[in-house]
Amino acid sequence: MKFDQFGDFQLDVLREVGNIGAGNAATALSRLISKEIDMKVPQVKIIAFDEIADSVGGNESLVVCVFLQVKGDIPGNMFFIISLSSAKKLLRELMGIETDDDEWFDEMELSALNEIGNILTGSYLSSLADFTRLNMQPSPPAVAIDMAGAILSYGLLEIGHAGDFALTIDTAFFEGNEELEGHFFLLPDPASLPQLFRALGVPLE
C-alpha cells in the first residue's frame, strides 16, 4: 500500500495505536519501578530512511536498544530505545545494580536490559493484539548499544525493497524530570497496514 493514500484520519488511528501500545508498556514500566511514567503524544511519521534516527538524537547518537521482529497478521519491527544514563537508572532502580557513569555494561546488565525491553515491548504488542484481535507474535528480543542509525536501519531492511520511506509510530515516555526518557518505535510493514485498518474498522479511500 502507498503511504500517500493516508489521510488525517488514518494517521490519527495510527497515533491511537501508538497510544494504546505505549500506554500499556508505560504502565508496565511504572509498576516495575514504582514511579509515575508520563507519555508524549505519539508521533506518526512517513519519513525518509535517513531521518529515522532524528527523534533519538541523530544517526551517531549512542543509545541502548532492544529490537524484535513482529510476526503474524501485521508484521513489522519494534524497538525500545533509551539513553545510556536512562539504562543505568533502570538497572539501579530495578536490580540494585550500581554502575559508574563512564563504565560500560557487562553481560549480566545487558541481559537485564534485554529482559526489561522484552517485558515492555511484550506488553505494547499484547495490548495491541487484544485490542485489534489480530495475531501478533514477537520474536525473541536482542539488545545492542551503539549508534542509533546503525541500529535503527535494521528495521528498514525489509521495507527497503519497496521504497525509500518508512512509517514510524514513535512514542516517547519519561519519568518525573525526564531523568529517565525513552522511546517505543513501531515500524509496521507497509503491506500489513490495510489489515490493521480493516481490523480497526477504518475505511481506506
Partner 1 sequence: MNIVKVGMADLNITKSPNRIRTTGLGSCVGVVLFDSQSKISGMAHVMLPDSSLSKGLLNVAKYADTAIPKLIEDMERAGANARRIVAKMAGGAQMFAFTSTSDTMRIGPRNVEACRIALQEARIPIVAEDTGGNCGRTIELDSCTGMLNIRTVNQGVKEI
User: Per the structure block, which three cell numbers stand in for 195?
Assistant: 489489515
Q: What mask of x and - would describe binding to partner 1 in positions 175 to 204, judged by CB under 8 A?
A: ------------------------------
For partner 1, which residue of 103, 146, 178, 179 counts as binding (CB under 8 A)? 146
For partner 1, which residue of 100, 161, 203, 205 counts as binding (CB under 8 A)? 161
- The reply to whether 46 sits near partner 1 by the rule CB under 8 A is no
For partner 1, which residue of 137, 160, 178, 204 counts as binding (CB under 8 A)? 160
Number of helices followed by number of strands (H, E) in the chain: 6, 8
- The reply to whether 41 sits near partner 1 by the rule CB under 8 A is no
Among 3-11, 23-31, 43-51, 181-189, the segment contacting partner 1 (CB under 8 A): 43-51
List CB contacts of 130: < 8 A, sequence separation 6 or more. Answer: none
Closest CA to 131 of 74, 190, 71: 74
Work out the angle at residue 157's Cα, subtended by the Cα atoms of residues 156 and 160, and round it to the nearest 5 degrees: 80
User: Minimal distance in Å, beta carbon 102 to partner 1?
Assistant: 13
- The reply to whether 167 sits near partner 1 by the rule CB under 8 A is no
List CB contacts of 33: < 8 A, sequence separation 6 or more. Answer: 90, 93, 94, 175, 180
Binding positions for partner 1, rule: CB under 8 A: 48-50, 53, 58-60, 62, 67, 69, 104, 139-140, 142-151, 153-154, 156-158, 160-164
